[in-house]
Amino acid sequence: MTDLIAGLPPFLVLDELLKSWLVEDIGRGDHTTQSLNLSAKRIGQAKWIAKEAGIVAGLPVAARVFQLLDPETVFIPQVTEGEVCQQGQVIAEIRGSLAALLTGERTALNLVMRLSGIASLTRQYVKQIADLPTKLVDTRKTTPGLRLLEKYATQVGGAINHRMGLDDAVMLKDNHIVAAGGIRQAIAQVRRQIPYPLTIEVETESLNQVQEALEARADIIMLDNMPVEMMQQAVELIRQTSDRIKIEASGNITLATIRSVAETGVDYISSSAPVTRSTWLDVSMKIS
């Protein structure tokens, strides 16, 4: 659990996001809860119950949501982050002011259900290639405002984060290449401008483009939407030329195809599917 939570952004970064999501839900006031005239001293206890099986992710975030409303809230996970839960299983117990529990319920649940859904589907993809050296990485196809947490969820599911944003690395995609006039031109222009530590990745769609990327000394070559047979040829070409270049495959990766892609010998497979095709894990809160 410690290793997984190490991938969670610090609350110094997350708190402003969490507060904004609480404000979005509370608006001008939680009329329902406020109308009950609940004293701050009225303490309640609640349980979170999984309504289906899946991988649990985001419990530390949920705890923080409640603690922003009531610092005295005690949130006790009943499963380890990244662990499989079963239908009907209690995954967390909470003790805090009733007002905080009622007001924070939906924001906290929404986050955990979303993140758990992503972690659950990610785990399915990772299992398909678990015995191979190829690693699954996520993409920038994330929900605006939720990227940090959605990428955390893919880590919980067993994937590796690709670049978090445009400032992490250079990725020359098809439109960049067209704008620059070709792969060689694009790499040459970028290399003159970027800071030393940044790597240069190039998206390729043909063996000719792979050869061009090799000659221009790209650090990472992405094989985008290639048939498996062409991908195998590209991997052989790259390996014969250099043992330092990393190879990434991408494009229409599914649970049915990910293994055949990994068997070509690529280092990484990037896919947006764990985020874009996942469904929420259903969880409910019951106050006692």
Beta pairing class for 135-137 and 268-270: parallel
Q: Active-site residue among 70, 105, 201, 203?
A: 203
- Determine which one of 51, 140, 173, 277 is catalytic: 173
Pick from 276, 214, 268: nearest CA to 243:
214
82 Cβ neighbours under 8 A, 6+ residues apart = 1, 4, 55, 56, 57, 119, 156, 157
Question: CA angle at residue 142 from 154 to 11, to 5 degrees?
Answer: 65
Q: Is the Cβ–Cβ distance between 262 and 132 less than 8 Å? A: yes
Q: Where are the alpha helices (DSSP H) in the chain?
A: 2-5, 11-26, 31-35, 59-69, 98-128, 147-157, 174-180, 183-193, 207-215, 228-241, 258-262, 273-276
**47 contacts 286 by C-beta, under 8 angstroms:** yes
Catalytic residue among 106, 191, 259, 277: 106
Q: Has 173 been annotated as catalytic?
A: yes
Residue 106 appears among annotated catalytic residues: yes
Whether 286 sits among the annotated catalytic residues: the reply is: no
Q: What residues are labeled active site?
A: 106, 141, 173, 203, 224
